[in-house]
Amino acid sequence: MRSRYSAFAVGDEGYLLHSWHPTTRPDHVRFVDGQRWTGLEILGSSGGPFDQEGVVEFVASYERGGEARELREVSRFVRHEKRWVYLDAIAASV
């Protein structure tokens, strides 16, 4: 989760697509002009090194148009080809 947040912060589309499950991966990542990511707080997680699925609940802070905002999400991750990849969001709010 932290590496995907960092990739969003620096605009690393290649990493984001590589770390996205092929069944839910978009053709490209849409970055919002003028949006700057400012912080990540992991609220909870489940799943460990020997599991096939895991969940991460987080709050990602950002600024856009001079206004502080946040994205809250519960994300699902799964093992694919021996590595963790993002599958989808179970719940999200902006």
Which domain does 86 fall in, by range? 2-93
**Tally of domains within the chain:** 1
CATH number of the domain within which 74 lies: 3.10.450.50
Query: Cα(34)–Cα(66) distance, rounded to whole angstroms?
Result: 9
- CB-neighbour burial class of residue 60 (10 A; exposed 0-12, middle 13-18, buried 19+): buried
pLDDT tens, 15-74? 999 999 999 999 999 999 999 999 999 999 999 888 999 999 999 999 999 999 999 999
Supply the pLDDT for residue 76: 97
pLDDT tens, 77-86? 999 999 999 9
Backbone region of residue 60 per phi and psi (left: phi > 0; alpha: psi in -120 to 50; beta: other values)? beta
Q: Which residue in 38, 92, 91 sits closest to 64, CA to CA? A: 38
